[in-house]
Amino acid sequence: MVSRKNNQYEAMDGNFSKQEIIIFKKLNTPSKIQDYLNSLRFNFEENGQTCYSPRMVLRKKSSHCMEGAMFAAAALEFLGFEPLLVDLRAAKHDFDHVIAVFKQYGGWGSISKTNHGVLRYREPIYRDIRELAVSFFHEYFDGKGRKNLREYSNPVNLLKFNKLDWRTSEEDLWDIPYALENTKHFKIITDEQIKNLRKADGIEIKTGKIVEWIKKK
């Protein structure tokens, strides 16, 4: 955990407003950050693809997994954690997932924005990033029951993107997901193991179709 005073935000490029800082001050635990993300409408990108900064997430009151992870990273940074993202890479017929990770009480945990009942918050109980990533494996399945998680990335520190004003930019931040895609990934499962995977049970598939937010028609 990195020591950082809350008021250091005022010295950063692209300052948060007083109103934004009030919100961050209320999110004073990782659990509360997750609760806040859950309260935001899921961003279905009805008007085209987006990659909102934390400021724009606050303004739009919505996010998808990439935007939610960046928002969580900013909120964690406000608490003194490093702003770290990890990419969970799926098989080609499924979508990747991005999480904000943090280390607390000697273990790794994560915060995540998803519209489904799975791939959500992880308590900081995992020994390393691999163990944390593997915890998503059995619930990372598609509508056909195929278990699709394949790799996880090294953590990417968003401090590398300070020149982009990643916390407060009003422009889409495509450089960050591109960087995540291109960072080193590690295999979770071998080709032989993939061939022998059992599909999720029917009741798991049914449960996996439950969504938190309904896309507007």
Work out the burial of residue 27: count CB atoms within 10 Å of its CB; fewer than 13 is exposed, 13-18 middle, 19 or more buried: buried
Is 213 inside a domain boundary? no
Residue 1 lies in a domain: no
Asked if residue 131 belongs to a domain, the reply is yes
Any domain includes 216 = no
How far apart CA 42 and CA 26 sit, in angstroms, is: 21
Please report where in the chains the tokens 């109103």 appear, as a residue. Answer: 19
For 168-216, the pLDDT digits (tens) are 999 999 999 999 999 999 999 999 999 999 999 999 999 999 999 998 8
Owning domain of residue 86: 6-208
* 38 falls within a domain: yes
Asked whether residue 35 is assigned to any structural domain, the reply reads: yes
Of 27-31, 147-151, 154-158, 211-215, the least confident: 211-215
- The predicted model scores a pTM of 0.93
The answer to whether the beta carbons of residues 62 and 40 sit under 8 Å apart is: yes
3-state secondary structure (DSSP) of residue 81: coil
Q: What is the largest CA-CA distance in the chain?
A: 54
The set of residues, in sequence order, having a beta carbon less than 8 Å from that of 217 and lying 6+ positions away, is none
What pLDDT was estimated at residue 15? Answer: 82
List the structure tokens of 209.
């179709």
**What is residue 82's predicted lDDT score, i.e. its pLDDT?**
98
Q: Which of 72-76, 162-166, 176-180, 212-216 has the weakest average pLDDT?
A: 212-216
- Please count the helices (runs of H) and the strands (runs of E) in the chain: 8, 9
Count of domains forming the chain: 1
pLDDT value for 216: 82
CB-based burial label for 115 (10 Å; 0-12, 13-18, 19+): middle
CATH of the domain at 189: 3.10.620
Residue 188 lies in a domain: yes
- Predicted local distance difference test score (pLDDT) of residue 75: 98
User: With 60 as the cut, is the pLDDT of residue 116 above it?
Assistant: yes
Decide if 54 is inside a domain.
yes
Confidence of residue 136 (pLDDT cuts 50, 70, 90): very high
Q: Kindly indicate the confidence band of residue 2, based on its pLDDT and cuts at 50, 70 and 90.
A: very low
Compute the distance between CA of residue 16 and CA of residue 43 in angstroms, rounded to an integer: 22
Q: Among 118, 87, 117, 116, which Cα is nearest to 101's?
A: 87
